[in-house]
Structure 1
Amino acid sequence: MDSSLAIVIATALGFLIGGGFVALLHVADQHRQQARAVLEPRLPDGIEHLLGALDSIVIVCDPSHNVYQSSPGATSKGLVLRGGRLATPVGELVDAVRRAGEPITRDLEIPRGPFGSAELMLRVRAAPLATRFILILADDRTEAVRVENVRRDFVANVSHELKTPIGAVSLLAEAIDAAADDPEQVRYFTDRLVTEAGRLGKLTNELINLSRLQSADSLEKAEILELRPIVEQAVDQARVAADAKRISITLAEGSGERVYADPGLLVMGFHNLVANAINYSPEGSGIGIGIRTVDGGVEVAVTDQGIGIAPEDQGRVFERFFRVDAARSRLTGGTGLGLSIVKHVVENHGGDIRLWSQPGRGSTFTVRLPLADADEVAA
């Protein structure tokens, strides 16, 4: 056989064998892909659109905790960790669903982050989805739980605070009846009765005010007004208490600053602030009230020379019923609601309040309110 012909035949056979081998590899790869498609889990058709319409945080995973789909909130809320794995409490819920074969709902506490002890309160529901998946729906209940705790504590505190003056009124009424033949004792118990009745009335009024401040229409009577006359009216309401302790109150002139506010609420807020300064100031001391414009707002600073507030208590002074000095509050008839009312008044007007205090030197409460818009003032 001619050598050239042998080379051509060998080359053709090589191409034929190589092509066949490539074809076999292609067929084998197709079979592998088909087998993988059969074995790998696949979300049911249309499920993505359905899950996207839900308000809850959505996670779709398999029984091995591999996440196939999740809402953005799943990661920000700590339900899905980096790497696409479920957080431990969620994984435990998935395991429970896998074993039970039916939906399970749990309230889970998920850490807010790697530092600190703050936690998110989530209600998480997990259920089998198709044959190979677990559907997880989660709702953040952190704020709802916080509000419920505040409500429960508030009711408990109110019950306790009302019990004291009501009990005192009852006992004093009995004492007056028992001392009917002793005019001196009757006068003494009557004075005490008037004091306790006044305390009860004050507490009731402040609870009503606090309730009003928390309503949706707390600024229904708002108007544009000059701030200094409002502060002056609040000072006038506290003048009798200040004179009784020989406390002088100095109010700065101001520069005609105007705010959009409910005058009644604002007077109430500043009156509570001034009254608080009087209650915690020694006799013969002074209280200064400054007014100044700063960064599109107006600040009112109330400074006293009182007992001051310890650093560990400064973060709690605006809590309902919190008292820096419980014994002093009983003597002055304080309810522990005054500064909480101030905070709500200020926040309802779009402002804020901050505190500087040093034990033995006194305190300064600074209220900042937004100035009324220039166009509104001109109108």
Structure 2
Amino acid sequence: MESTWLVLLSLALGLAVGAGFVTLLHVAERHGRRAAEVVNPAVPDGIDQVLDALESAGIVLDPSNNVIKTSPGALAMGLVFNQQLVHPELLDLARRVRRSGDPISDDLLLARGPFGDASMHVRVRLARLGTRYVLLLAEDRTEAFRLDEVRRDFVANVSHELKTPIASVGLLAEALVHAADEPEQVRRFANRLTTESARLGRLTQEIIELSRLQSQEAVAQPELVKIDAVVAAAVDQARIVADANHITIAVGKKSRSEVYGDERLLVVAVHNLIANAVNYSPDGSRVGVGVRRNDGAVEITVTDQGVGIPEADLDRIFERFFRVDQARSRHTGGTGLGLAIVKHVVQNHGGDIRVWSQPGKGSTFTIRLPEAPHPAPAATGDTP
């Protein structure tokens, strides 16, 4: 009897030990899973695909603010480095989201990347993603801010530039009234009034032209344009002023090259370069205009023997209303928009413009446009 009780007791002890061991295994497994989740957290289903499809920046942060998933846009913007957020401002927003549980949107001015000194305007939105994660979305609005600034500058510049001719017209009209009994004075004031009116008309027309060019990215209905005809028309328009200043416009040989584009706009661009060359050249000098075909491009070059452009100004000469020599520009009736128009015409035709200049030795402007492909010559001989 006693041996039977010993056997039953041993079995009970064995079962208890076994149950305890199994329980310990379950507990250990559960803790192991939790540890694995902390060490190697998984992004909720579908977030990977969403981030990969984003053009803007998307970042997922774990409870320790480690970056566990990021989109290519976030890397390109320099928001993430070594799996960490670069900017303390973003970390502060993430902590606020965790504390409050509410989404946050903000506009920030951040450094572009961990090492660069350039800045960027960023619109960010952060929200909780489940119970553990924070989702950060960011949109680079630097270009939008730049365009707004350019637009404001443009309006301010237009207002400033229009003030002078408008004020001059008003003063000259008043002077005409007071000089009604003096024919000589009337003629003098009338001539100046005509000059200022013409200047106001040119400025208004160029503002309209530039605004139209900036509103489109390419030529709407391109046609096949003969570059030799463009150059001839542009030279003819500048011939009267050049002859009055005894400046020779020398045109190179015909290139027989063609491009796809808008002939009228191309004539405007080339004429602006030639007119600038004439206006900034001394009397009796020479302006050269040449065209050549070079590796799939048509190059139109305008060279003068004028005053030249200081190196510090070369990067700014295509800005609207920028003038190297303010006094000379006003004397020649320049609006400060000519080269800006050239730049936009060329860009809308898929080309670029380059400049070389040296003070006292002159300048060379080169327009490069994609050459229109020539059709293959017709086959000759009998068809087999």
Does TM, normalized by the shorter one, top 0.5? yes
Shift of 1:238: 0.5
Query: For 1:272 and 1:73, how far apart are their aligned partners in 2?
Result: 41
Shift of 1:376: 8.8
Structure 2 CA distance for partners of 1:225 and 1:323, relative to 1, 3 Å = same
| Aligned partners of 1:78 and 1:87 also within 8 Å | no
| Aligned partners of 1:65 and 1:86 also within 8 Å | no
The worse-fitting range, judged by mean Cα deviation, of 175-184 and 267-276 is 175-184
Shift of 1:35: 4.2
- For structure 1, list consecutive stretches of 5 or more residues without a partner in the other structure: 1-18
Shift of 1:221: 4.7
Partner of 2:65: 65
Query: For 1:274 and 1:49, how far apart are their aligned partners in 2?
Result: 55
Q: Deviations over 1:294-315 (max 9, x none)?
A: 1111111110011100000000
Residue identity matched to 2:65: H
Query: For 1:113 and 1:313, how far apart are their aligned partners in 2?
Result: 30
Partner of 1:92: 92
Please give the root-mean-square deviation of Cα atoms over the aligned residues, in Å.
Answer: 2.7
Q: Deviations over 1:256-310 (max 9, x none)?
A: 1122221111111100010010111111111011211111111111100111000
Q: SS of the counterpart of 2:145?
A: helix
Partner of 1:106: 106
Structure 2 CA distance for partners of 1:34 and 1:351, relative to 1, 3 Å = closer
Q: Deviations over 1:315-373 (max 9, x none)?
A: 00011110000100110010000011111111111111100000010000011111111
Percent same amino acid among aligned pairs? 56
| Aligned partners of 1:303 and 1:364 also within 8 Å | yes
Q: Deviations over 1:155-206 (max 9, x none)?
A: 1111111111111111111111122222222211111111111000000111
Q: Deviations over 1:203-237 (max 9, x none)?
A: 01111211222233862453213211210110100
| Aligned partners of 1:81 and 1:87 also within 8 Å | no
Structure 2 CA distance for partners of 1:196 and 1:297, relative to 1, 3 Å = same
Paired residues in the alignment total 360
Q: Deviations over 1:90-146 (max 9, x none)?
A: 213223334444222222233334665322221111123333322211111122112
| Aligned partners of 2:80 and 2:86 also within 8 Å | yes
Partner of 1:8: none
Partner of 1:30: 29
Shift of 1:45: 4.7
Q: Deviations over 1:35-57 (max 9, x none)?
A: 43687766545444555565542
Partner of 1:5: none
Structure 2 CA distance for partners of 1:223 and 1:377, relative to 1, 3 Å = farther
Structure 2 CA distance for partners of 1:44 and 1:260, relative to 1, 3 Å = closer
| Aligned partners of 2:226 and 2:258 also within 8 Å | yes
Query: For 1:182 and 1:100, how far apart are their aligned partners in 2?
Result: 82
Residue identity matched to 2:216: A
Shift of 1:81: 1.4
- Matching of residue 141 in structure 1 with residue 145 in structure 2: no
| Aligned partners of 1:56 and 1:137 also within 8 Å | yes
Residue identity matched to 1:289: V
**TM-score normalised by the chain length of structure 2:** 0.85
Partner of 1:332: 332
Query: For 2:227 and 2:162, how far apart are their aligned partners in 1?
Result: 35
Q: SS of the counterpart of 1:373?
A: coil
Residue identity matched to 2:111: P
Residue identity matched to 1:256: R
The worse-fitting range, judged by mean Cα deviation, of 237-246 and 256-265 is 256-265
Residue identity matched to 2:251: L
**TM-score normalised by the chain length of structure 1:** 0.86
Structure 2 CA distance for partners of 1:377 and 1:322, relative to 1, 3 Å = farther
Shift of 1:69: 2.0
Residue identity matched to 2:342: V
Partner of 2:270: 270
Q: SS of the counterpart of 2:375?
A: helix
| Aligned partners of 1:79 and 1:90 also within 8 Å | no
| Aligned partners of 2:224 and 2:260 also within 8 Å | yes
| Aligned partners of 2:67 and 2:83 also within 8 Å | no
Structure 2 CA distance for partners of 1:369 and 1:53, relative to 1, 3 Å = closer
- Matching of residue 178 in structure 1 with residue 178 in structure 2: yes
Q: Deviations over 1:50-81 (max 9, x none)?
A: 55565542112135321222212112211111
Query: For 1:291 and 1:45, how far apart are their aligned partners in 2?
Result: 61
Residue identity matched to 2:364: T
Query: For 1:98 and 1:32, how far apart are their aligned partners in 2?
Result: 25
Query: For 1:43 and 1:219, how far apart are their aligned partners in 2?
Result: 47
- Matching of residue 323 in structure 1 with residue 315 in structure 2: no
